[in-house]
A and B are shown apart, each in its own frame.
Chain A
Amino acid sequence: MTENILVWVEQRNGQIRKAAGEVLFEARRLCTGSGGKLVAFLAGGNVAQLAATLARYRTDKILVADDPSLESYSTERYTEALVCAVKKENPRYVMAAHTAMSQDLIPRAAARTDSACVTDITELREENDVLRAVHPMYSGKVLGVFELTSPLSFLTLRPNVFPPDLPDEIHESEMEQLAFNPAPVRAQVVATVASTGVKVELSEAPIIVSGGRGIKGPEHWPMLQELCDVLGAALGASRAVVDAGWIDHQHQVGQSGKTVSPKLYIAVGISGAVQHLAGMSSSKVIVAINNNPDALIFQSATYGIVGDCLEIVPKLTSACRTLLSES
């Protein structure tokens, strides 16, 4: 059975989100297996040129909704555009990265089309010709395996989990403008304000350095930030220090914060409460630095150091700096 896939490609400020690229690569793999067609769908204002760059993900077709009314995001208008694209292409699956914006858009589109929806997927596998989606539940203590039984299903994939492929710079793809009539909307984005104090954003960061109670106080964030700068890492934090007011909650990793899957997660002075592990246990390599040898975090760690993080982190920063300057 040919199973066409339509990917909603999230862009911001004229840039394709890294996580959207991962979804395109995964969709390509599935289409190659099934013989289905890969359609990339991009919506926005003045995005035609950006859309053309999507061919490098080996798309069969690029569908663009390029309209001034899509310049700023509106749930209703984007839902309308996405559903219009879905009706036109009639895919078996609609896929997107699991992001804040897809949490707003994808379930709404799924409800409008009365379709299956599984979000925050960490694995897709075909069993007996049926696609099964794995979604971590209960703080990652359980993996739910779901089967999608409607003719159309919406799937969002966790960033940093599905491996990127090599782009194909010379691939050519059909491109088509989606005819779309913007109707009035009742709510829309009127401004976007960049968060202050965020150098590298957490959810798509390849490396994260997180601090907990063990860093002793907010005066030691610069110590962690320096390690972040050397590694190109994002700065994370445990719930305990967010609740203590040491740092803004947008840095929080864990159940009531962000779920992350970087290739490297360095937990500094974090004991490893279940609620923290929930947010980072799908990281590929985990480093734990903690002065308590019995800290739970060591059970999840790939590498562990028992010791005073205030002493170790600066030395780690300089060791990494030296190593990285050698290459």
Chain B
Amino acid sequence: MKIAVCVKSVPDTEAKISILADQLTFDHAGIKFITSPFDEYAIEAALQLKERYGGEITAFSLGGEEVVEVLRNTLARGVDNGVHIKDPEFAGADPLTAAKILAAAIDGGDFQLILCGQQGVGGDNSQVPAMLAELLDLPQATLVVALEIEADKFKAHCEIEGAHQIVQGTLPAVISTGKGLNEPRYPSIKGVMAARRKEIVIKDAAALGLSGQLTASQRKVKLIALNAPPARPSGKMIAGDPATQAHQLARLLREEAKVI
């Protein structure tokens, strides 16, 4: 079974994001980049399927130098191949552009399954998996928290508000993974050593046949500004013994905030 996994390198969730003077980018200095947490479930799902059915896993990642460490880490967990898609033309890609780039890289690779995290943490768009499925003309399942693969069929539990939808479909398919699907493993020492010897293939716009097609000026969504959110007004601390505090709070919620 050939499996493709899309991984995204994102700023550590604890990182402080300092918007630069252009108001469009943030300062990368001192920021640690990590695998987007939802992609960890995609990687783990691929590894478990490989252990069960054999096959080959290829990880695809779009971005600049911050991607290399994430791809190495992915390889160290047991993924076979890494493809780093990088080109200055692709910088600042919106989700549809990113999906087009990934589709160009994945198409023709004869993959039975394409796994992506449900959203890239940071951008928080949750768009690429469904767009990728459309561009590759494949069925999909979104926010999957349980997955069974049997021959050329899949059965996925998709999390929706207050329920699970059970989706059945045929492979090849695109699956977006959510928290709860599995417990991602850490790379082993052996894996880390092996990953050092694996080659990361670099593909640019020309290699993907996309030269000049997906540049910033051709995109449908334009980022106009990154703004800091308005500061919340400073709050009120409620003092007193527990009974007074509880009573005061209930009264404030009702009379001042009018929310209960």
| Cβ < 8 Å to A, chain B residues 124-155 | 124-131, 133-135, 138-143, 154
- What total of chain B residues lie within 8 Å of the partner, measured CB to CB? 83
A141 near B130 (CB under 8 angstroms)? no
Binary interface profile of A, 181-205, with partner B (CB < 8 Å = 1, else 0)? 0000111111111110010011110
A264 near B139 (CB under 8 angstroms)? no
A111 near B235 (CB under 8 angstroms)? no
A75 near B139 (CB under 8 angstroms)? yes
Q: Taking chain B's interface residues, is the majority helix, strand, or loop, or is none over half, making it mixed?
A: mixed
Neighbouring B residues of A322 by C-beta, 8 Å? 250
CA A307 – CA B224 in complex, angstroms? Answer: 44
CA A318 – CA B245 in complex, angstroms? Answer: 12
Among B56-64, B67-75, B164-172, B199-207, the stretch that binds chain A is B164-172
Closest B residue to A139 by beta carbon equals: B13
Min CB–CB distance B156 → chain A (angstroms): 8
| Cβ < 8 Å to B, chain A residues 190-223 | 190-195, 198, 201-204, 207
A194 near B163 (CB under 8 angstroms)? yes
Tell whether B189 is near chain A: CB-to-CB under 8 Å.
Answer: no
Closest B residue to A275 by beta carbon equals: B13
| Cβ < 8 Å to B, chain A residues 65-113 | 73, 75-76, 79, 99-101, 103-108, 110-112
Min CB–CB distance B26 → chain A (angstroms): 7
Neighbouring A residues of B247 by C-beta, 8 Å? 315, 319
* A195 in complex: contacting residue of B26, B164, B235, CB < 8 Å: B164
Tell whether B95 is near chain A: CB-to-CB under 8 Å.
Answer: yes
CA A306 – CA B232 in complex, angstroms? Answer: 19
B224 near A287 (CB under 8 angstroms)? no
A316 near B249 (CB under 8 angstroms)? yes
B163 near A256 (CB under 8 angstroms)? no
Tell whether B237 is near chain A: CB-to-CB under 8 Å.
Answer: yes
* A115 in complex: contacting residue of B167, B220, B227, B253, CB < 8 Å: B220
Tell whether B208 is near chain A: CB-to-CB under 8 Å.
Answer: no
* A257 in complex: contacting residue of B179, B242, B253, B260, CB < 8 Å: B179
CA A147 – CA B168 in complex, angstroms? Answer: 37
Min CB–CB distance B149 → chain A (angstroms): 13
Closest B residue to A185 by beta carbon equals: B139
CA A143 – CA B223 in complex, angstroms? Answer: 11
B254 near A323 (CB under 8 angstroms)? yes
* B13 in complex: contacting residue of A106, A204, A274, CB < 8 Å: A274
Among B46-54, B82-90, B115-123, B190-198, the stretch that binds chain A is B115-123
Neighbouring B residues of A299 by C-beta, 8 Å? 232
Since A146-B222, A187-B173, A298-B235 are in contact, a sample of 15 more A-B pairs with Cβ atoms closer than 8 Å, ordered by chain A residue number, is A75-B139, A104-B141, A107-B131, A142-B26, A145-B226, A187-B154, A188-B167, A202-B161, A256-B37, A285-B259, A286-B232, A299-B232, A302-B235, A319-B246, A319-B251
| A residues at B contact (CB < 8 Å) | 73, 75-76, 79, 99-101, 103-108, 110-112, 114-120, 132, 135-150, 153, 185-195, 198, 201-204, 207, 231, 249-250, 252, 255-257, 259, 263-264, 273-275, 278, 281, 284-288, 298-308, 311-312, 315-316, 318-320, 322-324
**Could you name 18 residue pairs across A and B whose Cβ atoms are closer than 8 Å?**
A100-B161, A101-B160, A103-B142, A104-B140, A106-B130, A107-B96, A111-B134, A114-B220, A116-B96, A137-B124, A140-B229, A249-B179, A250-B159, A255-B37, A256-B37, A256-B121, A302-B236, A319-B251
